[in-house]
Amino acid sequence: MTKADFKGHSRLVRFSLVAGLGLIALILSATAFFNTGHASQGQGEYVITGQLVDTQGQPVQEAQISAKLPGAEEPLVQVDSQEDGSWALILPRVPQNELLIEISRPHFASQTVALRSQQANELATADTYNFGTITLERRITAGFWVSTVVFLAILLLIAFETLHSTTAALAGASLIFLVSYVGGALNPGLFIFGFDRGISYINWEVIFLVMGMMILIAIVEGTGVFQWTAFQAYRLSRGRSWLLVLILMGVTATASAMLDNFTTMLLMTPISLQIGIAIGISPLALIIPEVLASNVGGITTLIGTPTNILIGAFAGIGFNDFLINQTVGVILALAAMAGFVLYHYRDEFRKQSGGISPRLYETLAENAEIEDAQALWKSGAVFLLVLLGFILGEKVHLVPAVPALAGATALLIWLNPDVHKMITAVDWTTLVFFMALFIVVGAIQEVGLLSFIAGGMSRMIGENLPLGTFVIVFGVGTVSMAIANIPLTASMLPIVKFLSTTIPGANSKVLYYALSMGAAMGGNGLLIGGEANLVTAGITRQTDTPISFAEFLKVGLPVTYLTLAVGFLWLLIRF
Amino acid sequence: MAKTILCPTRGGKPSYPNQDQAIALAKERDAELLFLYVSNVRFLGRTASPILVDIETELDEMGEFLLTMAQERAEKAGVKADIIVRRGAFREALKNIMEEREISAVVLGSSAEGTGYTTREYIQELSAEMSAKTGVEFIVVHEGRVVSSHKPGSPQEAGQEGP
C-alpha cells in the first residue's frame, strides 16, 4: 500500500465513522421525536393506578394487572407492575358499568378488585383513580419446593465437593429453567420464572468488577512482589519466628484487602512453607495464621472478598464505606487473633532458629525475587489509580466496576502483554459460577423462600438492632464455617435488606456490615469453610507437613468466635 | 558408571528420617542419590475461585528448594546427590524418571501417621508393582526404618516385611 493509498484509506475510515455516528444520532433523534409524539397522544385518557406489595411491605414487580368487564374473556387493557410495585392502566373511556381489575403473579394468590360506580365517577371527574396499596399474599407452589431443593442440593454438592462449584450452580440454574418451562407447561404451579426474569437477577456490576480485578491481579501477581515481601519479612524477623508470623499475618491481611484471599494464599503459601521448613519450625505455625489473617483482612475493602463485592453491589456500599466502617474492627480482630496464635504456637516460636545455609538462602532469595521490575512499577501505578478511582469515584456515582475495567485496559495497553494470555487469565468458570448462582438465588427469592426466612427472623429479632446484629454476625459466621460463603451471602442479601427496613436504626446498613464480617470470619472455623483454606491445605499436601482438618480446627474455631466477638463489639460501637 | 539410588521426597521435617535412610544406603552401596519432587495441582480442580497465579511454577520452585535441603543433608554425609522436579501424577512421574535414568534402586518412604499424604499401604503396593514392571529394587522405609524390600529375581521378590 502506497502512502497516498494509506491516506485515502484513512480518510475513508474517518468518513465512515462520522457517517456512522451521524446515522446513529439521526435514529436516536427520530426515536425521541416519535416517543414524544406517542406520549402526547395519551393526554386526556383515563388512568387507574395502584401499588402492589407483599405481606412484608416489599414491592411486587412484574405482576399482571388486567382490566375486564364482568363476564368478558378478553381484558380491555393489561399492564405489568414496575420495580417499585406501581402500575397504571390507561383506559380510552370511563366504563359505564363495574370494571374488574384482576391481579395475578406466579407464587402469589391472585386478587380481583372492582372499580364501582362511585369510583368510576371520580375517574371521570379527575381523569385518574388511585387504588392505593394492594397487598398480595404469598402462595407456596410446587415451584417453591423445587427451587428450595435445588438450592440446598447446590450447597451440599459444593460442600462435599461432589461437583465443581460452577457445574453445580450451572446444573441448578438449568434445572430451574427446565422445570419452569417444561414442568410449568404441564403444571402451572411448577413455573418459577421465565428466562428474562431469571437473567434479570444477574448482578452485572459484580461480574464486571470481578472480571476487571482478575486481569489486574493476573498482571500484578506475575511481578513476584508478594513472594519478595514474604522473603523481606523473613529477613526483617532475623530468626525470631514470633516476629516473622506477625509480619506475615500483616502482609497477608493487607494483600487480601487489595486482592482476594484465595489469590493471596496461592502466592504466599509456597514461599512461607519454604521459610518455615528452612528455619526448622512447623511451617503450619506460619501458614495457618496467614490463612486466618487473609480471611479477615479481606473484609476491609470492597474488593477484598467476593462476599464484599456482592454486598457492595447489592446495598450500594462503596469502597470508602467498607474502609471507614470496617478497618478498625478488622485491626482489632487481627490483634486478638495474633494474641491467640502466639499463645497457641508458643512452643514452636520458642525454638531457636539455627539459621539457614548460604546456598539455601540464595535459593530462597532467587525464588522470591522481583520477576519484572518494570511491570511492577507500571502495574503498581495503575493499581493505585484504580484504588483512587474507587475512593474518589463515589462522588460522581462511579460504579467500582468502571475503574477496575479501565485499569485493566490501561495495563493491557501500557504493558502490551499477550492479550490472549491475559484474557485467558480471566477465570470464566468463576464468572459463570456467579451468573448461575445469581439465577438460583433469584429463584428462591422469586418463590418466596427468602421472604419466609426474613419474616421468621424479623419476628425473632423484633426491633432490637443489637440483637439483629448479633444474630447476623454469629448466625452467618457459624453457618459459613461449613457452607460456601458466596451462595450464603447472596441468599442472605434480600433477607438483610428486609431486616434493614423493619429494625429501627438499621438503615445505617449495619446489618450488611454484620453480614460481611460473619461471612468472612466464619470461613476460618473449619478447613472446609473457605476456598482459601482448601487451597492452602492443598499446597501444604505437596510437602510432608499437610494441614489436617483437626489441626486447622484447633486454631480456626477459637479464632473464629474470638474475631466474631470483636467484630460484633466494633459494630455496636461504630453504629 | 556410578550407581544411582532414586529417592522421591516431599520435604519437611517428617521426611528427614526417610531421607537419612536413603543417604545411609547410598553411602553403604557407594551410590549417588537422585532426589525427586513431584507436584500435582489436582487439588485446584473443584475450586470456584479464579486461579490467577502460575501455581505450578511456584510449586516447582518450592520443590527445588526442598530438594536442595535434602541435597545438602546428603552432601554433609559425603554422598553426592542430584535433584529433579516433576509435575503430575506421582506414579507416572516415577515411571518416566526410571525410563530416562539408569536407576539401581528406589527408596520410597511414608511419613509418620497423620503427616504423610501417601499412606504406607499405597507405597507398598506401588513398590511391588513398579519393581515387577521395571526389575529395579524398591526399598520401602517408614519413619526411617526399612519395612520391606522388593527385588525381582531374588528370594525377596515378593517383598520382605521388616519388623
Facing residue for A277 by CB, picked from B11, B111, B116 = B11
Instruction: Look at strands B137-142 and B145-150 and give their pairing.
Output: antiparallel
> For testing the chain A interface, which of B9, B16, B46, B52 should be mutated: the one with the most A CBs within 10 Å?
B52
Count Cβ atoms within 10 A of the Cβ of residue A396 and give its class: 0-12 exposed, 13-18 middle, 19 or more buried. Answer: exposed
Q: Is A417 near chain B, with CB under 8 Å?
A: no
**A265 vs chain B: nearest CA distance in angstroms?**
10
> For testing the chain B interface, which of A542, A547, A549 should be mutated: the one with the most B CBs within 10 Å?
A542
**B50 vs chain A: nearest CA distance in angstroms?**
5
Question: Is A270 within 8 Å of B61 when comparing Cβ atoms?
Answer: yes
A433 contacts in chain B (CB < 8 Å):
48
Cell, residue A294 = 487473609
Interior angle at CA A260, CA A257 and CA A261, nearest 5: 90
Which pLDDT does position A100 carry in this prediction?
Answer: 93
Which pLDDT does position A476 carry in this prediction?
Answer: 96
Inter-residue contact A473 to A516 (CB < 8 Å): no
In this predicted model, which residue has the larger pLDDT, A238 or A458?
A: A458
A283 contacts in chain B (CB < 8 Å):
12
Q: Which residue has the cell 397504571?
A: A88
A20-58 pLDDT, tens digit per residue, is 555 555 555 455 444 444 443 444 689 999 999 998 888
Residue A342 has pLDDT above 90, yes or no: yes
**A306 vs chain B: nearest CA distance in angstroms?**
9
A157-201 pLDDT, tens digit per residue, is 888 878 888 899 999 999 999 999 999 999 999 999 999 999 999
Which residues, 6+ apart, have CB-to-CB distance to A137 below 8 Å?
A55, A108, A109
Question: Is A277 within 8 Å of B50 when comparing Cβ atoms?
Answer: no
CA proximity to A519, closest of A572, A451, A472:
A472
Question: Is B117 within 8 Å of A541 when comparing Cβ atoms?
Answer: yes
Inter-residue contact A223 to A369 (CB < 8 Å): no
Please report, for residues A201, A490, A495, the alpha-carbon distance to residue A445 in angstroms, rounded to integers and kept in the order given.
Answer: 10, 10, 9
Question: Is A543 within 8 Å of B44 when comparing Cβ atoms?
Answer: no
Which pLDDT does position A169 carry in this prediction?
Answer: 93
**B68 vs chain A: nearest CA distance in angstroms?**
7
**B106 vs chain A: nearest CA distance in angstroms?**
19
Instruction: Quote the CA–CA distance of A140 and A263 in Å, as a whole number.
Output: 42
Facing residue for B10 by CB, picked from A430, A537, A542 = A542
Crossing angle for the helix pair A485-502 and A449-461, to the nearest 10 degrees? 60
**A:B CB pairs within 8 Å:** 138
Which pLDDT does position A314 carry in this prediction?
Answer: 94
Interior angle at CA A349, CA A344 and CA A352, nearest 5: 160
In this predicted model, which residue has the larger pLDDT, B133 or A253?
A: A253
Which pLDDT does position B157 carry in this prediction?
Answer: 45
CA of B39: which chain A residue's CA is closest? Answer: A542
Q: Is A283 near chain B, with CB under 8 Å?
A: yes
Q: Which residue has the cell 431469571?
A: A198
Helices (H), A447-484: 449-461, 465-479
Which residues, 6+ apart, have CB-to-CB distance to A566 below 8 Å?
A329, A332, A333, A336
Facing residue for B62 by CB, picked from A270, A427, A531 = A270
Please report how many Cα atoms fall inside a 13 Å half-sphere around the Cα of residue B51, on the Cβ side. Answer: 15
DSSP string, A241-260: HHHHHHHHHHHHHHHHHHS-
Rg (C-alpha) for chain A, rounded Å, is 29
Residue A253 has pLDDT above 70, yes or no: yes
Q: Where are the beta strands (DSSP E) in A26-116?
A: 46-54, 64-68, 77-80, 86-91, 99-104, 111-115
Across all residues in chain B, what is the average pLDDT?
84
Crossing angle for the helix pair A358-367 and A261-279, to the nearest 10 degrees? 170
Residue A503 has pLDDT above 90, yes or no: yes
Instruction: Quote the CA–CA distance of B64 and A160 in Å, as a whole number.
Output: 33
Least confident of A16-25, A146-155, A329-338: A16-25
Residue A67 has pLDDT above 90, yes or no: yes
**A169 vs chain B: nearest CA distance in angstroms?**
10
Instruction: Quote the CA–CA distance of A101 and A78 in Å, as a whole number.
Output: 9
Question: Is A278 within 8 Å of B64 when comparing Cβ atoms?
Answer: no
Which pLDDT does position A26 carry in this prediction?
Answer: 53
Interface of B with A (CB under 8 A): 9-15, 39-41, 43-55, 58-59, 61-66, 68-69, 72, 111, 114-117
Question: Is A282 within 8 Å of B13 when comparing Cβ atoms?
Answer: yes
Instruction: Quote the CA–CA distance of A258 and A390 in Å, as a whole number.
Output: 12
Inter-residue contact A547 to A536 (CB < 8 Å): yes
Residue A66 has pLDDT above 70, yes or no: yes
Which pLDDT does position A412 carry in this prediction?
Answer: 84
Give, as one character, the DSSP assignment of residue A67: E
Question: Is A270 within 8 Å of B111 when comparing Cβ atoms?
Answer: no
> For testing the chain B interface, which of A284, A544, A545 should be mutated: the one with the most B CBs within 10 Å?
A544
In this predicted model, which residue has the larger pLDDT, B123 or B65?
A: B65
Which residues, 6+ apart, have CB-to-CB distance to A161 below 8 Å?
B46
CA proximity to A305, closest of A263, A368, A357, A339:
A263
Average pLDDT of the residues in A512-540: 92
Residue A529 banded pLDDT, cuts 50, 70, 90: confident
Listed ranges A524-528, A565-569, B92-96; the one with the highest mean pLDDT: A565-569
* Amino acid identity at B6: L
Average pLDDT of the residues in A388-400: 89
Number of C-beta neighbours around residue B154 at 10 A: 11
**A331 vs chain B: nearest CA distance in angstroms?**
25
Instruction: Quote the CA–CA distance of A323 and A304 in Å, as a whole number.
Output: 10
B55 contacts in chain A (CB < 8 Å):
266, 270, 539
Residue A525 has pLDDT above 50, yes or no: yes
Which pLDDT does position B159 carry in this prediction?
Answer: 46
Residue A222 has pLDDT above 80, yes or no: no
B13 contacts in chain A (CB < 8 Å):
277, 280, 282, 544-545
Percent of chain A with pLDDT over 70: 91
Spacing of C-alpha B146 from chain mean position: 14
- Give the ipTM: 0.85
Cell, residue A13 = 475510515
B31-75 pLDDT, tens digit per residue, is 999 999 999 888 887 676 667 678 888 899 999 999 999 999 999
Which pLDDT does position A571 carry in this prediction?
Answer: 97
Across all residues in chain A, what is the average pLDDT?
88
A2-17 pLDDT, tens digit per residue, is 445 545 555 555 555 5
Average pLDDT of the residues in A248-264: 90
Residue B160 has pLDDT above 70, yes or no: no
Three-state DSSP class for A307?
helix
Cell, residue A346 = 508458643
Which pLDDT does position B163 carry in this prediction?
Answer: 40
Listed ranges A209-213, A409-413, A430-434, A500-504; the one with the highest mean pLDDT: A500-504
Rg (C-alpha) for chain B, rounded Å, is 16
Cell, residue A328 = 478498625
Give, as one character, the DSSP assignment of residue A534: H
Which residues, 6+ apart, have CB-to-CB distance to A131 below 8 Å?
A48, A49, A50, A101, A113
Number of C-beta neighbours around residue B76 at 10 A: 10
Which backbone phi and psi does B40 adopt, to 5 degrees? -145, 120
Which pLDDT does position A237 carry in this prediction?
Answer: 87
Residue B123 banded pLDDT, cuts 50, 70, 90: confident
Facing residue for B53 by CB, picked from A267, A364, A546 = A267
Count Cβ atoms within 10 A of the Cβ of residue B108 and give its class: 0-12 exposed, 13-18 middle, 19 or more buried. Answer: buried
Count Cβ atoms within 10 A of the Cβ of residue A575 and give its class: 0-12 exposed, 13-18 middle, 19 or more buried. Answer: middle
Give the pTM.
Answer: 0.82
Which backbone phi and psi does A336 adopt, to 5 degrees? -65, -40
Cell, residue B130 = 513398579
Helices (H), A503-545: 510-522, 531-540
Which pLDDT does position A234 carry in this prediction?
Answer: 86
